[in-house]
Copies of this chain bind each other. A is one copy, B any other.
Amino acid sequence: MKLHDLIRDLQEPNNSKIVLLVADGLGGLPMEIGGKTELEAARTPNLDTCAREGICGLSIPVLPGITPGSGPGHLGLFGYDPLEYQIGRGILEALGINLEVGPRDVAARGNFCTVDAAGLITDRRAGRPTTDRCTAMCQKLKTIKIPGADLIVEPVREHRFVVIFRGGAGSELGDRVNDTDPQMTGHAPLEAKGDDEPSRHTARLVNQFVAEAGKVLKADAPTNMVTLRGFARYPKIATMKEVYGVKPVCLAVYPMYKGLARLVGMDIADAGTTLTEQIDTLRQLWNQYDFFFIHFKYTDSTGEDGNFAAKVEMIERLDAEVPRIKGLNPEVLIVTGDHSTPSKLKSHSWHPVPTLLWAKTVRPDAVVEFGETWCLRGGLGQFKAKYLMALALAHAGRLGKYGA
A residues sitting closer than 8 Å to B (CB atoms) are 1, 3, 6, 10, 27, 29-30, 33-34, 37, 53, 58, 62-73, 82-84, 86-87, 89, 92-93, 342, 345, 347-351, 361, 363-366, 372-373, 376-377, 379-383, 387, 389-395, 399-404
Contacts and interface: CB of A to CB of B under 8 A. Distances in A.
B404 A71 contact: yes
A86 B6 CA distance: 12
Contacts of A365: 373, 376
A3 B404 contact: no
Contacts of A53: 33
Given A30-B364, A381-B382, A403 B86 contact: yes
Contact of A64 (B373, B391, B401, B403): B391
Contact of A399 (B27, B350, B391, B392): B350
Contacts of A86: 1, 403
For A62, A380, A387, A403, the residue with the greatest tally of chain B CB atoms inside 10 Å of its CB is A403
26 contacts: A6-B83, A30-B364, A33-B364, A64-B383, A64-B387, A64-B391, A65-B387, A65-B389, A65-B391, A65-B394, A66-B394, A67-B401, A68-B402, A69-B403, A71-B403, A82-B402, A82-B403, A86-B403, A92-B404, A345-B361, A348-B401, A349-B361, A350-B391, A350-B399, A351-B363, A365-B373
B404 A1 contact: no
Nearest to A93: B404
A67 B402 CA distance: 6
